[in-house]
Amino acid sequence: MTTGTKIARLTTYLQRVGNRPRVLLRITTDGGLDGWAEIYNHGPDLAYPAIVEYLGDQIAGIDATRVAYVNQLLHQSARFPQGALGLAAIAAVDHALWDIAAKAAGVPVYQLLGGAVRDRVRVYAGLYDAPDVPQLVERTAALHENHGVDAFKLSPYRRDLHRSRFGLVARELGDWFGQIRESHPEEWEFAFDAHGCLWEPRQAVDLAAALAPNEPLFLEEPIRPEYLPAWGRIRSEMTVPLATGESLYSPNEFLGLLTVQGADIVQPDIAVVGGLTQMRKIATLAEAHDVPVAPHNPLGPLATAANVHFAAATWNFSILEYKPDDVSWCHDPYVPVDGHLELRPDRPGWGIEIDESALATDDWVHWERTVPVRRDGSTAWM
């Protein structure tokens, strides 16, 4: 065991990323090494400090560089499979330990994964809404001018999905995407995230048909994730790339999706699936099925850093989601240059610094989802 790398203390901080709450985690070793991570706010967010404290009691005194051991231990510490909150907390522990292990070795995390297979990491900007074309052109032009970004992700819904005839939703989407193509350089990419709002597979196929003439980068998560055979069906009927994975939690679930040939692109979230340790297993499964990985990442600087190192060392990585939110606690985040995030080979660990003075005061914001209501008073997916 490396001297001074026993896990001594886990500390959580209540912060924010943009308008979303975020719990940060710091793991400190007996030798004073710190590792950092952010926890994906699945909610109830204030449950995370208690969960982290519970996990911390199980791993106290273990060598922090035994990352895979700790990850497996925490998976096995529950009788039943870990759910969203448990896996998000395990992912944060996993990431803080990877940070420590790389700092102890004096190298970037990706060097511990076998080294870089690429020099930089391509990103697309997550915009998440469906603005009128003139407003969209202003936003995309600014992102391209400032950061060289030439790929973007939008919402496909130009009208209230749950209070409109679906044929109008699809038709308006097709017309709008045509206008987008006409007003942007032909090399630029546009993806569309349907957020799992649809429940009927037929509607997913119709949405894809509306997009097809203008060649989207992908259509993301058009239907709910639970019934995997439906994904095989809609992929066989669609003529645009189908992407999904943010709502799947384990390598086993991704294997099920890949077995039914339910996706052209998989989108595991490194802060959802149990961390970088589990993410690499999912990527290997996807590679064996000739499927690229485009990680889901609408998160902050620490999650983005973890994805950069994953992408640097993963051959079947394709493109990374990037959400340009400023935070008070990190002043040197990975920021796109020429549409890519550059590697930082001279910085050990994740390659970013956390401003601990900014963590002295809780910067918490309450946020919760609002469930849509249809015209008959029943609730809908969002």
Cβ pair 191, 243 in contact under 8 A: yes
Helix (H) or strand (E) holding 29: strand 20-29
309 is catalytic: no
Pick the closest to residue 69 from 7, 26, 8 (CA basis): 7
- The catalytic residue among 42, 75, 162, 195 is 195
Helix axes 301-312, 276-288, angle to 10 degrees: 40
Identity (one letter) of the amino acid at 215? E
Residue linked to tokens 């074309």 = 133
Sign of the Cα torsion 90, 91, 93, 98 reads positive
Q: Find out whether 267 and 191 touch, Cβ atoms under 8 Å.
A: no
* C-alpha–C-alpha distance, residues 96 and 357, integer Å: 19
Q: Scan for tokens 């939110």, then name that residue.
A: 325
Q: How many of the other CB atoms lie within 10 Å of CB of 178?
A: 14
Please confirm, yes or no, whether 195 is among the known catalytic residues. yes
Number of H helices, E strands in the chain: 11, 11
Is 171:159 a contact under the CB 8 Å cutoff?
no
> From the candidates 95, 144, 296, 309, which is the catalytic residue?
296
Q: Based on C-alpha coordinates, what's the Rg of the chain?
A: 21
Q: What's the CA gap between 140 and 191, in Å, rounded?
A: 13
* CA 237/CA 217 separation, integer angstroms: 17
SS3 of residue 85 by DSSP: helix
Report the candidate in 243, 300, 255, 251 with the shortest Cα–Cα distance to residue 275: 251
Cβ(211)–Cβ(160) below 8 Å: no
Backbone angles phi, psi at 359, to 5 degrees: -90, -5
The two three-digit tokens of residue 192, written as one number = 């569309």
Could you give the residue numbers annotated as active site? 195, 296
